[in-house]
Amino acid sequence: MGITAKELALRLSGTIEGDPNVEISRVARIEKGEKGAISFLANPKYEPFLYSCKSSVILLNRDFQPSQQLDNTIIRVEDAYSAIASVLSMIQESKKSKKRANGWYYLRPVSSKIGKGTHIGRGTVISPKVKIGKNCTIYPQVFLGRGVKIGNNTTLYPGVKVYDGCQIGDNCTIHSNTVIGADGFGFAPLEDGSYKKIPQTGNVVIGNNVEIGANSAVDRATMGSTIIGDGVKIDNLCQVAHNVEIGEHTVIAALSGFAGSSKVGKYCQFGGQSGVVGHLEVADHTTLAAKSGIVKSVKKEGEILMGYPAIEHRHYLKSYVIFKQNGAK
């Protein structure tokens, strides 16, 4: 069963032009719209596709005026790009499985507690003294170590591993094969050239509304906690080392890494394949370009950095002119 345009408009605080009873069940790109789908226009360069789009419903910004007549049902909102994210969430919720844990095969000791409305997939292992909140979805083949705590409305996709003592907050999403709480990379050099492992006795604490992509790793602290703040978004294939602290609402693109005990501020942005050297501090609102590396602490808020070692991006661009000239000789 789909969602009507009337329901969408109500939830998006939008206004309808056209049939309020038309239903949608999926989202389609504006250049490949089809009946039963909803599309959106946020970037003006896609406007030519608008007039041939066959989607049942189209999201438009309130101030946009089409140059041709549209036969689709239109929902006008303040920001079509942000609104489509809400639509995707609605559709996902409407498709969620309603199966209960009853009859599913998973291991659960008596000492663990599972909240009402939580669904657990086949082959999942729940260790002693685990606490899982309400309305969570734990997919098959997940492992939860001893004493793990998970908040409400959190989703763990297949193959996620959460080691002993780690904590995950409310409304989090952890994608497949991500590991939370593996040992940090701690080894002490010995006189004979070999290395002695340093026990990693801490844990990982993940805040609320965090999303971590597939095949990423967040290591437990040597002592204390590795901390992922509220609202942090981490892409696939990222590495967060022991005792790292990532501030609230920081976003991190794929293949990025943070060495041990680095502390990243709030509202930072890290491009793909970027990194931070250990034991450094990065100020709030810092932006680091892709394939760049921070090798000394960033104290000024709001800087845009580029290169390796990372420097202020305008200085890097000026330097790059010289790099190109020398390379051409």
Active site residues: 242
Structure tokens at 109: 């000791």
Map residue 303 onto helix, strand or coil.
coil
- Convert 293-319 to b/e letters by CB count within 10 Å (16 or more is b): bbeeebeeeebebbbeebeebeebeee
- Convert 61-87 to b/e letters by CB count within 10 Å (16 or more is b): beeeeeeeeeebbbbbbeebeebbeeb
Per DSSP bridges, beta strands 311-312 and 57-61 are unpaired
Q: Tell me the C-alpha to C-alpha distance, in Å, between residue 240 and each of 11, 181, 222, 235, 293.
A: 37, 10, 13, 12, 15
Q: Which has the closest alpha carbon to 75: 27, 146, 133? A: 27
Map residue 327 onto helix, strand or coil.
helix
Enumerate residues 6+ apart whose C-beta is below 8 A from 318.
Answer: none
